[in-house]
Amino acid sequence: MKKGMILAADDTGESLRLLTQVLNKEGYLVHPASSGELALASARANPPELILLDIHMAGMNGFDVCRRLKIQPETRNVPVVFLSATTDIEERVEGLRLGAVDFVSKPFRTEELLARVETHLELGRLRANLEKVVNERTMKLQVVTEMISIPVKQAIESQDWSLVLRLFEPTAFVMLLWEEESREWLLNLPQAAIDAEPGLAFWRSYVLLGFGRVGAAEAIAEQADIQCERSDRSRDQWRIRSVRAKAAELRGDGPSAVSLAGEGLELAARLGFEERPLGYLWLGSAYCMSGQPMRGEEMFRTACSMCERLEGSRRWLTPVCYSWYGRSLYLQGRLNDALAVCRQSFSLERQYGGPTVAISYMLEADILIGRNLLDVAQQSLEKALDVNGSLDQWFSQPNSWLTAAVFRYARGDVRQGDHVVDDLVEWARRNNAPAVKEKAEAIRVNYWLKEGQIERAWLWSIERKLTAENDFAYAQEPTYLALARLYAHRGANTGDASLLDRAISLLGRLRRSAETDGRMGHALSALIVETLAIAQSGRLDDALASLERCLTMAIPESAFRAFLDEGPMMFDLLQTAAARGVLRETTTGLSAMFQSPLASARPSGAFGYRPSPSQPQSAKSSLDLDRTLQLINPLTDREFELLNLIAAGLTNASLADSLFISNNTVKTHVKHLYQKLNASTRTEAVARARSLGLLAN
């Protein structure tokens, strides 16, 4: 039995024959095509599971073929891997924009090619299986909703509101997620129905909250809560308290969210086991959104444990709980653990269903961005946004769009970044969600500072009347981290020591608050900026000691993006640290990332640093060609990527997790790296790479 069907396209006969032989030997069924036109015709006639596509073909090149494949319904979901003899980063970025999932350098190494083919075939099958499961469940849900909607409509016509609630409630969460008609009739119920049945008030406020209409949802829920208190309706009241907690989260009122969700859980505990997992989920969410992810983790672990005992249609809650559990770990800076739980939630989604896919994809994108794996993060983010739809779509997640803004700016796409931020600010204004506005504006200000637009950021701080001495809640921390970064940059530019002192003081407050609540990712971000402010104030030894602490926190989780986002000041400090012998391999490897394809898809100088003739150039693209010729076999892009991470001090296990490859594949890459560099240990490999100019000294 063949392992899979692959279309291989290359207009070089010898290369195509070799490619076909290698894949056939491994048990794959290969359809060879010697031109772009033949590849396109073959894919349309008999869609394969994977396409290997040479870029530089005569006539219709690989980019043209890919562009046409992605607009054809029968081929747009087939993964495309480009084959290329060049290492041009702009070419690779263009390929990824067109929808390719990977690149293989030519001449290819058999082990690498087979590993990538196997990986993308498996991922493609998983995606296809997930789509099949979703389609099957959608069809079943349509049958169920048709069976329920008719009697519900009859009960509405007869104004039997108690019957309406009894018919609708057993499958309400799932029906609201997938069935627009249910949301419409809930929003159009007369006030008499809401007055008669507080349970219907909960579902209406839940729908309004899903549309982001925080004020309207909260008003209905507060009135229903009073009504439940008078009539002793605990079942309705616990849910109403929980939806009020959700509204408080969006307003940025963390203490109220925790209090209301806690009261809701107490009420749910009196009603029986089935209500309690959802109560723990909502309380965990309130803790996370109020800056207490360790407490949130406790709630989610309890909820996940309880979900194992749920039966039937209520099992949809299981993957949702795991998604939020992963989010609590991410907020603690535990990226490795968060990614493992995220993958578990995907597996549970395929098993039980539930509205978790967008949440999990968003979490995956956040983790990958934190690790500076932007190309892979783009795929996860696009899937999250595809499920979410626009900001005004029901059950859309504003956090997905916040992540999209971070990603756009990291890619240097200022126009799109500004567009996303503008939409978020307007959405927050309309829906009384100031916490979303705070985060969105802080993302844009951080980009201004990275690009040296200090005066623009200074005007923002004046308009907002921000000072380092202000008191602030957790929801405002992104704003005050941006303010502290502004003080550090302006103080460094103007030589104003008082601004640097205010930055250091404010950053100390932010860091200590984050450390107290276990938000080590936030603590790392504050400590990095604090380190730069200390360096700019002339206390270099203290700054280097602080930098060492930052790196010690970041390396186990591969959390490198936070350093790269600080621009030229961080580059200069890393270079100084390397010269002083402070974690030399790590600081040298990390400073190299400022100019390598890992840092950004943009050309050299993307972070405000442009090397002068007297400064070392650490990027592969800017190497002296005479020195690279000393290598008999040049390093592939993957090997160069691996070399930088090895120099940064990552273990094999961390390399595998960061690059999304198996431990065996890492060992194979390291072996080839050693052979090419004539080395037998990591230390020898790094030293040899430096002597050849592959890494900065």
Q: Give the pLDDT confidence score for residue 89 in this predicted structure.
A: 63
Q: What is the CATH number of domain 590-596+608-697?
A: 1.10.10.10
Cα 34 from chain centroid? 39
Amino acid letter, residue 683: T
Q: Give the pLDDT confidence score for residue 615 in this predicted structure.
A: 35
* Token pair recorded at residue 82: 């480009």
Name the most confidently modeled range: 262-271, 346-355, 478-487, 644-653: 478-487
pLDDT of 359 over the 80 cut: yes
Run of H or E including 13: helix 13-25
Amino acid letter, residue 423: D
**Residue with the larger pLDDT of the pair 150 and 53:** 53
Q: In the β-sheet with 5-9, what is the strand arrangement from edge to edge? A: 29-33, 5-9, 50-54, 80-84, 102-105
pLDDT of 237 over the 80 cut: yes
Q: CB atoms < 10 A from the CB of 222, how many?
A: 15
> Is the domain covering 155-387 a CATH 3.60.60.10 domain?
no
CA R_g for the chain: 27
Tens of pLDDT, residue by residue over 580-620, are 888 887 888 788 777 543 344 333 332 232 333 333 333 33
3-class DSSP state of 84: strand
Q: CB atoms < 10 A from the CB of 158, how many?
A: 10
pLDDT of 149 over the 70 cut: no
Domain definitions of the chain by residue range: 5-108, 155-387, 590-596+608-697
pLDDT of 516 over the 90 cut: yes
Tens of pLDDT, residue by residue over 624-638, are 333 333 454 567 666
Mean pLDDT of 89-98: 72
> Is the domain covering 5-108 a CATH 3.40.50.2300 domain?
yes
Mean pLDDT of 241-251: 90
What is residue 3's DSSP assignment? S
- Closest among 309, 316, 405, 299 to 357, alpha carbons compared: 316
